[in-house]
Amino acid sequence: MPLVTMKEILDEASSKGYGVGAFNINNLEFLQAIIEAAEEEKSPVIIAVSEGAMKYAGIEFLSSMVRLAAEKASIPVALHVDHGKHWEVIVSAIRNGFTSVMIDASDKPFDENVAITSKVVDLAHAIGVTVEAEIGRLKGIEDIVKVSEKEAILTDPEEAKEFVDRTGVDALAVAVGTSHGAYKFKGEPKLDIERIKKIRDLIKIPLVLHGASGVLPDIVELAEKYGAKLGGAKGVPDDQIVEAIKAGISKINIDTDLRLSFLAGVRKFLTEHPEVFDPRKYLGEGKEIVKETVKRKIRLFGSNNRV
């Protein structure tokens, strides 16, 4: 079916209380893995493209691939800009058929974030494109030394409400203790679930959890068995993701878990078949593990059997 907006996918998820994965792609194999997994699990899915991905592969190549994949698929697919920082990128994405954009001005002072986000909302809504924005900064709770620092970094519920009222965004990314990458927590993994509940009580639009990868221990172990060095890697445990969804999160962003899965597959294949030089073979093995990981995520988030 043609690409749908992210709002369509998330409003449905939010009203029924399940989560939907937004999975990052940079190339063909990750896209194939995600779409195949979502089709087999009968799940809606969000394909996320960062500015880095656009720089790596080209926005036209990525958007064309995703549009085609969606048209051939039997599940709803949204094409979304992840962490858009530049006005030109947002405009270019909309011109290239993205159905959703994230404008991330969360590093700016509150009023400036409101102004930048509002400008994107005006443009995007005029042509039916969904907007996600963010307030607060992503950082592990354990890394926060003082209480005052915690309040400055994590999303303040009252501020979140004012932000949504003033900007008219469709989805809001909140900072509740996660961070990007494979090294999220020095101590015990911990999300501020109470904060999600407070924000949920004040805000009716879908909420987004960034930095949500689990850094799956079995995948890390597999990659390390074949030579990867990932000492100290730690992510968000599955049970905390479930709690976060129960508390009101609707969109869950996953990048790192797919990277680690691909790495494990490619490393395993190359180690076991040193004589093989056909990229379809080793990339194919990477793709299979990414696909398995996406299926695990879909079932964890509860978006399976929804289409």
Interacting residue ranges for ligand PGH, rule: CB under 6 A: 24, 82-83, 180-181, 210-213, 253-257
From the list Zn ion, Ca ion, ligand PGH, none, which binds 255 (C-beta under 5 to 8 Å, kind-based)? Answer: ligand PGH
Residue with smallest beta-carbon separation from Ca ion: 106
- The C-alpha atoms of residue 277 and residue 175 are separated, in whole angstroms, by 44
Under the rule (CB under 5 A), what is the footprint of Zn ion? 210, 253
Distance CA 261, CA 236 (A): 16
**DSSP structure class, residue 141:** G
Selected from 106, 117, 155, 167, the binder of Ca ion by CB under 5 A is 106
Show the site string, 48-87: x = touches Ca ion by CB under 5 A, - = not. Answer: ----------------------------------------
Alpha-carbon dihedral sign for residues 171, 33, 238, 218? negative
Instruction: Write out 176-199 in H/E/C secondary structure.
Output: CCCCCCCECCCCCCCCCHHHHHHH
> Residue 279, SS3?
helix
Contacts of 278 (CB under 8 A, 6+ apart): none
Dist. CA 288–CA 33, nearest whole Å: 7
Which residue stretch of 24-32, 106-114, 190-198, 264-272 sits at the interface with Ca ion (rule: CB under 5 A)? 106-114
Task: Find which of Ca ion, ligand PGH, Zn ion, none residue 106 binds, CB within 5 to 8 Å per kind.
Answer: Ca ion
C-beta of 46 vs 222, nearer to Zn ion:
46
Query: Which tokens go with 127?
Result: 């042509």
Nearer to ligand PGH, 52 or 279 (CB): 52
> Minimum distance between the CB of residue 175 and Ca ion, rounded to whole angstroms?
7
Reduce the DSSP state of residue 284 to 3 states and report it.
helix
Nearer to ligand PGH, 46 or 283 (CB): 46
CB 132 within 8 A of CB 82: no
* Known active-site residue 239: no
**Least Å from the CB of residue 180 to Zn ion:** 6
Q: Which residues are catalytic?
A: 82
By CB under 5 A, name the binding residues for Ca ion: 106
